[in-house]
Amino acid sequence: MAPGPTFAAASGHVPRGACRAGAPSSRTDSVPRRRAVPGGRVSPVPSTALPPSAAPRNGAVSFWYAATGLPPRRAPLPGPREADVCIVGGGYTGLWTAYYLLRADPALRVVVLEREFCGYGASGRNGGWVTAALAGTRTRFAATHGREGVVALQRAMEATVDEVLRVAREEGVDCDAVKGGELTVARTPAQLARLRAAVAEDHAWGATDHVLLDADETARRVRVEGALGGSWTPHCARVQPAKLVRGLAAVVEGLGAAVHESTPVTRVEPGRAVTPYGDVVAPVVLRATEGFTARLPGLRRTWLPMNSSMVVTAPLGDARWAAIGWDGCETLGDAAHAYVYAQRTADGRIALGGRGVPYRYASRTDADGATPATTVRQLQGVLARMFPAAADVPLEHAWSGVLAVPRDWCSTAGLDPRTGLGWAGGYVGHGVATANLAGRTLRDLALAHLGGGPAGTALTRLPWVGRRVRGWEPEPLRWLGVQALYAAYRSADRLEEARGGSTSTVARVADVVSGRH
């Protein structure tokens, strides 16, 4: 099937103007007057205040669903049943696993159980980055599998970006996908030094297509106020997350999977998933619950549900986009410690996210994406500072979600051959692509357990497979630690912006204490 108009070629070439929206909006198309600022730059006066009349829609799961409408819910589990594979969780991980299992063996009885609706969690709330960035650190993966294992994992992730686009294209899932690469900008000397070190490290591990950009080269891609330089890698695509997960759920159902929504799983045991409507009995039970894993008995400290928040503007219009650029659809991040991530949406908005309230006590999660007003103001301020031309464009929506973080900040997938219980997750914010790799990996592990596949494959030998680490500290230590970590990172960012120079000692200590590096 040939690519549709919303897809760029898998090679990474993006036609100029591929990100452009339609006719400009008269409400947001005029660029505000500009004023001089220190250093010779000019920018409009940014306002971080949010007038009550302009308060954005808050929560309602996410903007991505506001754009498409919340999906009608599938029927809950009608009663006890048997299956070959039971998958707990209807996000990217669970759905990709079901997809690849049924593509490998259409006769398999695959049941997917979802507490809310497919894509209710991070799969329908994320920033839309299909990135090849590793969900973990190379040194930790290398400690068990050596350099060759890490290089194989990196190559697998790079191939995964194209695999997601291939399946979406061939299955007719229109998710506004464009492979424009990933651009990271540095706005302080310390950030620029970290960016140079990151590119040098990538090159040392064989990722030589990650390139440094000077200030002018960065501005030719996206004009971010105060950017001193940047880096770019081709291995990332932009998607509309809810369109991807909704489309994938429909494809999986069409392949024969039984998808039951509004079906909470209260316990996972060898050979069964327990629900209020009856048990699903299966020789393979796979846990694909990511940021909601702590809700299951015995797993409260396995992965920490880290919070992330996003805002999205009204459409900017052509005049503002001419001031900003961003014609290549790159995903955009920065090299701050408390970093942000953004995309230019297919309908001409800026969607930008950051950490906000990083963690809720006792691993609690938000209510349908509701976001504190202080977080909305913080993100609006970041957006105004990065994009002065959009400083007075109204925000239309704010939302939050959770991602899963293991204690060593490294993702994991596996299946216990003694019990038939499998898992994948802990993606530390890189789950859109990693979940696809997880789905293919769990397919191989499940088929081997059922006797329908080889005992080992190239995917099941990757260094993240079977990885186990200790759990997080009990409360209140867990809450205190995460709050202190992100307070330290924000303090370090402020110090680096004020003083310049190298990476703040505050951040270096926080990295060591938290176990991130």
What tens digit of pLDDT does each residue of 112-143 get?
999 999 999 999 999 999 999 999 999 999 99
- Strand pairing of 81-82 and 278-281? parallel
Residue 350 three-state SS: strand
**Alpha-carbon gap, residue 256 to 329, rounded angstroms:** 35
**284 contacts 415 by C-beta, under 8 angstroms:** yes
- Strand pairing of 272-275 and 421-425? unpaired
**Alpha-carbon gap, residue 89 to 289, rounded angstroms:** 5
Residue 36 three-state SS: strand
**Alpha-carbon gap, residue 231 to 208, rounded angstroms:** 12
**402 contacts 307 by C-beta, under 8 angstroms:** yes
Cα pseudo-dihedral 4, 9, 13, 14, rounded to 10? 20
Give the residue ranges of the chain where pLDDT is below 70. 1-54, 504, 506-507, 509-510, 512-517
**Alpha-carbon gap, residue 156 to 411, rounded angstroms:** 14
Q: What is residue 366's predicted lDDT score, i.e. its pLDDT?
A: 87
- Strand pairing of 350-354 and 341-344? antiparallel
**248 contacts 99 by C-beta, under 8 angstroms:** yes
Q: What is residue 26's predicted lDDT score, i.e. its pLDDT?
A: 34
Q: What is residue 338's predicted lDDT score, i.e. its pLDDT?
A: 84
Helix or strand holding residue 448 (H, E): helix 431-450
Start-to-end CA distance of the chain, whole Å, equals 43
In terms of Cα–Cα distance, which of 175, 156, 164, 222 is closest to 464?
Answer: 156
Q: What is residue 510's predicted lDDT score, i.e. its pLDDT?
A: 65
Cα pseudo-dihedral 325, 327, 329, 331, rounded to 10? -20
| 491: number of Cβ within 10 Å | 16
Q: What is residue 426's predicted lDDT score, i.e. its pLDDT?
A: 97
**485 contacts 409 by C-beta, under 8 angstroms:** no
Tell me the pTM.
0.90
Q: What is residue 500's predicted lDDT score, i.e. its pLDDT?
A: 72
Distances (CA, A) of 238 to 51, 181, 341, 451: 31, 8, 12, 38
